[in-house]
Amino acid sequence: MSNIIQLFERMGQDAGLQNHDAQLTAIQATELTAELKQALLANDAVSLERQLNINPDIFCAMVPAEDEQPTEEAPADEQDTIRMVANG
């Protein structure tokens, strides 16, 4: 599996591998199995997922934060501000 990871890393770093011909040359030069090479050349993500035994499903959940409970007494900074406004 490290060979395909190295190929993906190289493809991501090398801007010269953005066209099809360069990708074809890079894929053919690797020591990957014929099935992996074929899936890469065909851009067959499903076949790659099966061959590499990966699960592409990613789940995310967001839970809102609970509100803080109000305190009986205002903090000292707020009391000073209130006094300054009342006196000013």
How does pLDDT run across 49-70, given as a tens digit for each residue?
899 888 878 888 888 888 877 7
Is position 78 within any domain? Answer: no
Is position 48 within any domain? Answer: yes
Specify the number of domains making up the chain: 1
Is residue 38 pLDDT above 90, yes or no? yes
Q: What is the mean pLDDT of residues 2-7?
A: 87
Q: Is the overall model pTM greater than 0.85, yes or no?
A: no
**Of residues 22, 49, 25, 55, the one with CA closest to residue 35:** 49
Is residue 82 pLDDT above 70, yes or no? no
Is position 73 within any domain? Answer: no
Is position 59 within any domain? Answer: no
Question: Phi and psi dihedrals of 87, rounded to 5?
Answer: -80, -25
Share of the chain above pLDDT 70, in %: 77
Q: CA quadruple 41, 45, 49, 54: dihedral positive or negative?
A: positive
The predicted pLDDT at position 81 comes to 59
